Amino acid sequence: MIGRLNHVAIAVPNLDAAIATYRNALGATVSKPQAEPDHGVTVVFVELPNTKIELLEPLGEGSPIQAFLDKNPSGGMHHVCYEVDDIIGARDRLTAEGARVLGSGEPKIGAHGKPVLFLHPKDLCGTLVELEQA
């Protein structure tokens, strides 16, 4: 059911510093910062030949990545995003298998303008998983 790895997301306490690290030390191409108020984050994408890295900084009060950064003050790997053809079909299959969908259970529009869902890490090998309809 799952397709390509769309991205790996890293939560960071300071987006400008993280952009500088990826651009200058790693020599990567980094997109412009994009505010995602619906998701409580500001995001940039690092373009790699075979996938992307999403760098996330908290935006506003009650950002869903703030608790993670409180536990991991220098930042850390936050989630992986897999592509699916049919996000509703994927959700229904996963919930039938006992996985919990975070939030309302309905897809939201993600940073690429496509529907996304997040699944509880306890149900998926300790890793927060984002599904994106490709």
Tokens of 115: 């529907």
The nearest distance, CB 9 to Co ion, in angstroms, is 4
The nearest distance, CB 77 to Co ion, in angstroms, is 11
User: Residue 43: how many CA atoms within 13 Å on its side-chain side?
Assistant: 21
Question: DSSP character for 113?
Answer: S
Catalytic residue annotation = 130
Tokens of 119: 């699944």
Residues 114 to 133 in contact with Co ion, rule: CB under 5 A: 130
- 9 near Co ion, judged by CB under 5 A: yes
**Which stretch in 1-9, 24-32, 45-53, 86-94 sits in contact with Co ion by CB under 5 A?**
1-9
Nearer to Co ion, 83 or 130 (CB): 130
# chain residues binding Co ion, by CB under 5 A: 4
Q: Do 72 and 11 contact (CB within 8 A), yes or no? A: yes
The nearest distance, CB 1 to Co ion, in angstroms, is 18
Which position has the token pair 């506003």?
60
Residues 58 to 87 in contact with Co ion, rule: CB under 5 A: 81
Q: Measure the CA–CA gap between 127 and 116, rounded to whole angstroms.
A: 16
Q: Which residues face 9 on adjacent strands?
A: 54, 79
**Interface residues toward Co ion, by CB under 5 A:** 9, 54, 81, 130
